[in-house]
Structure 1
């Protein structure tokens, strides 16, 4: 759940992994979602699977997204597990990673938007979440430092948008196109609108060739509960 106090200067995000910025191209971006750690993990799983000489023709990879609750003592995650036939090219692996992320991201946001999670958070399908996830993917596979392409604004300008339009959690986005908030000083009657993804975020298509036998579903939709009471 993004809050006003997390807003930082979008022009000074080099090396920053936490905070909320506003950009003219993608709207609000959650830098935590946009780190791409989830993508690094699944690509590493595929690298290990391809490189393991165990005589098995397939290997499993798991992608998950989670949320922490109850004073950081419980983690609830949604996950899927796919079975990959060895011999996938790097391009295919990127497409597989994208497809898994797109699938789980929507299911995770749906979980957050459902009872009882929606009693304590407005994070479910919050306007910045899915587009930030997608940005994280492209930061890992092709464009590590994309922010100069996204036209980030200062903290002062970002705060003006937040105060004029309201919290981004009030704007729900079930897709991966950005929600844009025009400068209220230039357009006082402006309303939020859907934008378009920049070209660098449209270069890879999610994997969908499930009839080839190269990719299968080992676990279609899973939920995982991890407790840390005694750590």
Structure 2
């Protein structure tokens, strides 16, 4: 949940891993979302292809991908630092030996579908009574900015978005109100025009600039580039909707440093407990058909 005191100046936009800035071309950007640790981890997984295996039923090689988005806080328990998180996990299988261009499209597809589910989870009654984070106006575009910082090319999109001074950002906040009160369920910027003394200004949806729109998500999942995973096996028909990827809710309590191996960030899935896991539909051979 973004607050007024989170607002930062343009001069700090590239040196901070949290906070809120206002930009001329993309509106509000959450620097925590735009830090893109999730995208950085996903890129490593797609490049390394660890655990790839041949599956005869698909006549192809696949490797596991665990992508997640989460929220929570850190607590000190008996002198030890622990991380408490709740989030959305997408357990998938991705076809091996694809081109980097295709892998970038796969990564964007995974991020977009998971981010939407995560925001919907935050918008649920479980959290909405105390937080306006679900589909907050800056979240989706900030996720996209973070994705392009890792998977894109050229100048950092935070710079291209033209961050404003803290004074200007505070002026926008005080005139329009908290960004969390404005909901945005699209990967498009929500822009807040400079307030006019002679008329009431309202926010408007903007369009993505070319430098934040040249990687396209997959149009559908029929080509088997991405498959859902169940019990470490690729599965085509986990859902009746073939374009739906598996997204499991989980809770996690882990000791700080779980994601570092030999002083390097690893790509492991955090220790967790899944809630209401999806399972394949089973045919009931003992159902009596009343038509006979």
Match of 1:40 in 2: 40
SS in 2 for 1:151: coil
Between 34-43 and 68-77, the greater mean CA deviation after superposition: 68-77
Aligned equivalent of 1:22: 22
- Deviation of 1:18 after TM superposition, in Å, equals 1.3
Alignment partner of 1:63: what SS?
A: strand
Shift of 1:69: 5.1
Match of 1:137 in 2: 147
Stretches of structure 2 that go unaligned for 5 or more consecutive residues are 56-60, 76-81, 231-245, 258-292
CA contact (8 A) 2:188 2:205 kept: yes
> Which whole-Å CA distance do the structure 2 matches of 1:227 and 1:98 have between them?
28
For residues 193 and 179 of structure 2, what CA distance do their matches in structure 1 show? 14
| Equivalent residue number for residue 13 of structure 1 | 13
Match of 2:253 among 208, 227, 230: 227
Residue aligning to 1:198: 209
Structure 1 86/123 Cα, relative in aligned 2: closer, same or farther at 3 Å? same
Aligned length: 230
Instruction: Give the Å deviation of 1:42.
Output: 0.8
The farther-off stretch of 123-132 and 177-186 is: 177-186
Q: Is the 8 A contact 2:52 2:64 kept in 1?
A: no
Counterpart selection for 1:65 from 69, 80, 84: 69
| TM-score, normalization by structure 2 | 0.73
1:73 is displaced (CA, Å) by 5.3
State the distance in 2 between where 1:230 and 1:35 align: 19
Q: Larger C-alpha radius of gyration, 1 or 2?
A: 2
C-alpha distance in 1 between matches for 2:219 and 2:64: 17
Give the Cα separation in 2 of the matches to 1:12 and 1:188.
Answer: 32
More helix by share: 1
Give the TM-score of the pair, scaled to structure 1.
0.91
Alignment of 1:138-217 (within 5 A): 138-142=148-152, 143=154, 145-185=156-196, 188-217=199-228
Give the root-mean-square deviation of aligned CA atoms.
2.3
Q: Tell me what 2:119 maps to.
A: 109
2:21–2:166 contact (8 Å) kept in structure 1: yes
Which whole-Å CA distance do the structure 2 matches of 1:214 and 1:141 have between them? 18
Q: Deviations over 1:192-216 (max 9, x none)?
A: 1111111111101112453333321
1:181–1:191 CA contact under 8 A, matched in 2: yes
Question: Which 5+ residue runs of structure 1 have no aligned equivalent?
Answer: none
Q: What is the CA–CA distance in structure 1 between the aligned matches of 2:188 and 2:87, rounded to whole Å?
A: 24
Instruction: Kindly indicate whether the alpha-carbon contact (under 8 Å) linking 1:138 and 1:144 is maintained by their aligned counterparts in 2.
Output: no
Q: Which moved more, 1:17-26 or 1:179-188?
A: 179-188
